[in-house]
Structure 1
């Protein structure tokens, strides 16, 4: 299966368990891998035959900057679900959500979750 990588997207969101996270917000990073057949796009060189990266970014932005979730697991799940719904040619979607400098005890550069979802 061919893969499209859209990585390093950054958004400002209000996700977290603690009230200050929901009030102050913070930066989140998102990486997406979309598995699809790119043969036709390679032959035709037409945007309509592939996944539009700008639309991928827009879907991710709307979710991460939209409704607050307690867990980044929920953010990732909603991202994967919406991307699979938006792009019918995508068979599998891997989503990684990174929360830099989380406000939890200890010294962490970041925490992250990565999920892979596909069509049933």
Structure 2
């Protein structure tokens, strides 16, 4: 039985963006992560899977260190780093990154990118 591990609506303060104000002041982002495991569910031991706490810590580290222009770059970096945790057990990784307050004219809730790999 295959399965996915999901962490939804992780919230962070980031300094990602092309505008100077975004880089200096930052803004809130939300990240959803879905990781498809390639090995079937095997039992009630943490050693039989990858800890979702590791996923969260890795995402948090990448957001806190990231000073990139695009959320697409952050999503790509997250996918690459998740795969490196356990390449044998981790299959498809899907990341959604939402910028909550985007400095452009218009009325909308957020801007979101979705990437998988």
TM-score (norm 1): 0.90
**Structure 1 match to 2:93:** 93
Distance 2:15 2:40 in 1: 35
Are 2:26 and 1:34 aligned? no
Give structure 1 regions of 4+ aligned residues with deviation exceeding 3 angstroms. Answer: none
Give matches, 1:74-89, under 5 Å.
74-88=73-87, 89=89
Q: How many residues align?
A: 114
Per-residue deviation at 1:38? 3.9
Secondary structure in structure 2 of the residue aligned to 1:65: helix
Name stretches of at least 5 consecutive residues in structure 2 with no aligned partner.
none
Are 2:50 and 1:51 aligned? yes
CA RMSD of aligned residues (A): 1.1
Secondary structure in structure 2 of the residue aligned to 1:8: strand
Contact 2:27 2:101 in 1 (8 A): no
Are 2:4 and 1:8 aligned? no
TM-score (norm 2): 0.92
Distance 1:6 1:38 in 2: 19
Name stretches of at least 5 consecutive residues in structure 1 with no aligned partner.
none
Distance 1:31 1:58 in 2: 14
